[in-house]
A and B are shown apart, each in its own frame.
Chain A
Amino acid sequence: MTAVNESERQEVEVLLPWHAAGTLNRRDTQRVEAALANDPELARRYALVREELGHTIHLNETLGAPSARVLEQLFAKIDAEPARRGSTSPGFGSRMSDFFATMSPRAMSFAAAAAAIVILLEAGFIASVLVKNPSVGTFETASTMGGAKAEGAYALIRFQPQASAADITTFLETNKLSFASGPIPGGLYKVKLAPAALPKDELAGLIKKLQDDKIIGFIAASE
């Protein structure tokens, strides 16, 4: 042994079984290969490791396989298990991840590039429309009553999903309210509470009172 000292040989020797099985990381693989190339005694011992590897596989392969009863036994046990909350069909997220998992890296890179191009084209189109027509993009609902600030006290209200039209009508009549605008995103309506602005405390009290109504999901003062 010339190029490899005894301590290095011992360190490498313990790695030989994993080298033979092909389960070493790249760095250790290179280390072992370099040592084997320079150390004939280590190479001889490596041949013994390979012999053990071959016979261990042979031995295990002659052990046979379990009988079909194991699968039957397993599913009988599974049947006896409490039902799962999840369904037997995979969800959308699971199907998507399966779909991407089955794509080859090349197909995946093509798909990603195509998606990026589509997004860029869309962004370009939207930008060009905005440049030509600057008013586009200013949100305005069909029922908005103009942009001028209106006089009065207002609140934004979201009704409970189960509230009927009759419930809402009754609620508005009872409290002498009227719709100012809406719906806006989020299912909100702007409701006129009073013809003139209310003092802060009075407005807060009114909001709290309205909030207690069972058909109200959300309410907040608005300008």
Chain B
Amino acid sequence: MQTTSDEVLIARIAQGDRLAMQVLFARHHVRVYRFLLRLVRSDATAEDLVSDVFLDVWRQANKFEGRSAVSTWMLSIARFKALSVFRRKPEEELDDEIAGAIEDQSDDPEITLAKKDKGAVLRHCLTSLSADHREIIDLVYYHEKSVEEVAGIVGIPEATVKTRMFYARKKLSELLKERGIDRGWP
């Protein structure tokens, strides 16, 4: 079975085709939401931003030149929206939010239990990384973006993409080590 490509859907959306918009939304909204949620760490904010991202797609479909995949283009828009939220929020509010999210929960019974499960600890450490490191790890591992695509989304050179990913992984290993899991690297 062949499905209509994202590029064809975008061309239809540029013509004002609402059904094409629905199809594109159904195809990508969950991943866009998860990308946003990992950045803004708020369900409600992520949901609001998802509709903003797709509204931008609706408005700008006629400007899409196909130089990148549609999903890459949408993640670029999503990232820009998330950064706009960060810029709007008062610094104290943001600090509280981030502190809440990355608080060391080593005494939390849940985490104590999780320590028995290396996978759960690893996932906890993934949530404890900085926004830059979370973002690059998600783009590479979950959103399956190439070096070139990540460079396009984040707006950094390809060489920086590689080194940032390397340091994100290194930080992850350090966090694991702090929780008693030594992976023997780096």
Contacts and interface: CB of A to CB of B under 8 A. Distances in A.
A55 B123 contact: yes
B47 interface: yes
A71 B25 CA distance: 8
A64 to B, nearest CB: 8
A59 B122 CA distance: 10
B138 A66 contact: no
A102 B4 contact: yes
Interface string A170-187: 000000000000000000
A14 B126 contact: no
A106 interface: no
A83 B149 CA distance: 33
A56 interface: yes
A101 B126 contact: no
B185 A48 contact: yes
B151 interface: no
Interface residues of A, number: 51
A49 B126 contact: no
B141 A57 contact: yes
A60 interface: yes
Contact of B8 (A22, A66, A67, A101): A101
Contacts of A110: none
Chain A interface SS verdict (over half): helix
B27 interface: no
Interface in A83-117: 83-84, 86-91, 94, 97-98, 101-102, 104
Given A21-B140, A23-B145, A66 B29 contact: yes
Contact of B12 (A17, A51, A78, A94): A94
Chain B interface SS verdict (over half): helix
Contacts of A102: 2, 4
Contact of B55 (A25, A77, A87): A77
Interface stretch (B14-22, B79-87, B96-104, B105-113): B14-22
Given A52-B172, A57-B142, A90-B12, A67 B185 contact: no
Given A17-B141, A67-B47, A77-B51, A49 B169 contact: yes
Contact of A81 (B30, B59, B142): B59
B151 to A, nearest CB: 12
A97 B4 CA distance: 11
A58 B140 contact: no
A98 B29 contact: no
Contact of A88 (B18, B147, B173): B18
A48 B166 CA distance: 13
Given A60-B138, A63-B37, A84-B16, A94 B11 contact: yes
Contacts of B48: 73
28 contacts: A14-B165, A14-B166, A20-B141, A23-B140, A56-B137, A57-B142, A58-B123, A59-B127, A67-B47, A69-B47, A70-B33, A70-B51, A71-B25, A71-B29, A71-B51, A73-B47, A74-B21, A74-B51, A74-B54, A75-B18, A81-B55, A86-B14, A88-B15, A89-B15, A90-B11, A94-B11, A97-B8, A102-B2
Interface of B: 2, 4-5, 8, 11-12, 14-18, 21-22, 25, 29-30, 33-34, 37-38, 46-48, 50-51, 54-55, 58-59, 119, 122-123, 126-127, 137-138, 140-142, 144-147, 149, 162-163, 165-166, 169, 172-173, 183-185
Given A71-B51, A78-B18, 14 more contacts: A14-B163, A15-B162, A18-B147, A44-B184, A55-B126, A60-B138, A63-B34, A63-B38, A66-B30, A74-B54, A81-B55, A94-B15, A101-B4, A102-B4
